[in-house]
Amino acid sequence: MKANKSFILLPVLSLLLTGCSGATFDYKDHLKDYVFQMDYHQNFNILQLTDIHWSMNSSTHESKIYMDKVLKETDRHIKELQGNNAKIDLVELTGDMFMLSNAYHVSSFVEYFESKASEYGFIYTAIWGNHDRHGIYNPNWLGEQFKNAPHCYYYEPEDNLYGRSNFMINLVKGNEVKWQIANLDSGASFSETSISPFRDYDYIRKDQTDWWLKEHSLVGESVPGIAYYHIPQDENTTLYNNRASYKNKFFKLERFADNGNEAYASDFLDVAKEHNLKGAFMGHAHNDDWTVDWDGLVVGLGVKTGPELYYAHIDPNSTDPAMKEGLASVGINEKFDLIGATLVTITDNEDNILGKFDLEHLYYNERTSGDFVRWVKW
């Protein structure tokens, strides 16, 4: 067991055995092995950071400075709204943490989040994105770095379930699970196993949907859930095309990456929506932070974190319809860049009415004349 974790990892013995045996097991027979637990409380804060892209083309030093500011501002914002004892509880790193990186970038990244987890008192997770597979390292080695990090929840056994980062975090009060947070690997833009090195953008497989259903059934249909993963699925395009029928907000400036190929179609959101999934949040599309309320299921892209690679430059004088629609939804009338973070705060009240959360997007731009900071609530 990771001794300095204050939360519970279930079950430790099985984790150790699967990590060293190399034997493949059937996920259906080991559902409890995929489950971590955290103490639940009202105003449980989940910070999503996505598409950070530490690489050989970026400055690790400057990236840390930017991340310091985002974490400090988030902590300040939470305390202002919820009191001095409130904090970031969980950080969801939803993929593309790296791109064309080496062991130094990975090690410094893990060391950074370990130090910040100690400073702010949070647990963090790591979900695979497509570019995390593009590195000068063995993917198995990368998984081991997160698995062995004391403040990181990460599970990657030798199983027959597609992907590398499929695990649950149950938020527990007493003996009762109040919420279930799912982490899923939505795949890569190339195959790790087939002869062909390239493929269209990937998707959540049917066996992952089945796994989610089985994990959710263990805690009960009444337990609300949130899912985090990297690549938007085909449902995102369907929702965007029918957005007039749903409440939507924020920016949609580039296409979703599912590409509409029926061979890569996912049924995850369609199925999970009928089993009390309340939120699904992803990354991948740097120019988007579009969010829609689909009959009670909030589906949203997180704000890209940090200035590495490309991102949208928002101009209030733009005549682009998507830009104008986005500006109207956030109420900002000056230029800014679409980078920052996304905050989910579970707001269930003391009357045990479950399934409520607030969603806020943080736009954080470093500026010589004083940083640009805006919080926009869904």
Q: Over the stretch 178-228, which tens digit does the pLDDT of each residue have?
A: 999 999 999 876 656 555 556 667 889 999 999 999 999 999 999 999 999
pLDDT at 43 over 50: yes
Question: Where residue 113 sits, what CATH number does that domain have?
Answer: 3.60.21.10
| Token pair 């009959």 in the structure block, residue | 295
> CA–CA separation, 260 vs 81, rounded Å?
41
| Residue 214, pLDDT score | 98
Parent domain of 45: 8-377
Residue 339 DSSP SS3: coil
| Residue 360, pLDDT score | 98
Q: Is residue 91 part of a domain?
A: yes
| Residue 11, pLDDT score | 37
Grade residue 5 by pLDDT with cuts at 50, 70 and 90.
Answer: very low
Q: Is residue 116 part of a domain?
A: yes
Write b or e for each residue in 73-101: b if 16 or more Cβ atoms lie within 10 A of its Cβ, otherwise e.
bbbebbeeeeeeebebbbbbbbbbbbbeb
| Residue 46, pLDDT score | 99
> CA–CA separation, 198 vs 194, rounded Å?
9
Highest mean pLDDT pick, 4-13, 15-24, 364-373: 364-373
Instruction: Give the tens place of pLDDT for each residue, 83-123.
Output: 999 999 999 999 999 998 999 999 999 999 999 999 999 99
Q: Is residue 365 part of a domain?
A: yes
> CA–CA separation, 234 vs 264, rounded Å?
8
- Return the minimum-mean-pLDDT range out of 14-18, 81-85, 373-377: 14-18
First-to-final CA distance of the chain: 39
Partners of residue 301 on adjacent β-strands: 282
| Residue 201, pLDDT score | 74
> CA–CA separation, 50 vs 72, rounded Å?
17
Q: Is residue 1 part of a domain?
A: no
Structural domains of the chain, count: 1
Task: Kindly list the distances between the CA atom of residue 75 and the CA atoms of 122, 211, 235, 295, 365, in Å, as whole numbers in the listed order.
Answer: 11, 34, 33, 31, 17
Name the nearest CA neighbour of 182 among 169, 173, 171, 172: 169
> CA–CA separation, 71 vs 60, rounded Å?
16
Q: Are 329 and 287 in contact (CB under 8 A)?
A: no
| Residue 42, pLDDT score | 92
| Residue 58, pLDDT score | 80
Q: Is residue 366 part of a domain?
A: yes
Q: Is residue 223 part of a domain?
A: yes
114 φ, ψ (degrees, to nearest 5): -65, -45
> CA–CA separation, 171 vs 356, rounded Å?
14
How much is the mean pLDDT over the chain? 89
- What mean pLDDT is predicted for residues 11-29? 57
Q: Are 122 and 88 in contact (CB under 8 A)?
A: yes
Q: Is residue 3 part of a domain?
A: no
> CA–CA separation, 344 vs 40, rounded Å?
14
Name the nearest CA neighbour of 299 among 236, 253, 213, 359: 236
297 or 355: which carries more pLDDT confidence? 297
5 or 378: which carries more pLDDT confidence? 378
17 or 207: which carries more pLDDT confidence? 207
- Return the minimum-mean-pLDDT range out of 8-12, 163-167, 180-184, 189-193: 8-12
Q: Are 192 and 133 in contact (CB under 8 A)?
A: yes
Grade residue 17 by pLDDT with cuts at 50, 70 and 90.
Answer: very low
> CA–CA separation, 271 vs 278, rounded Å?
12
| Residue 202, pLDDT score | 82
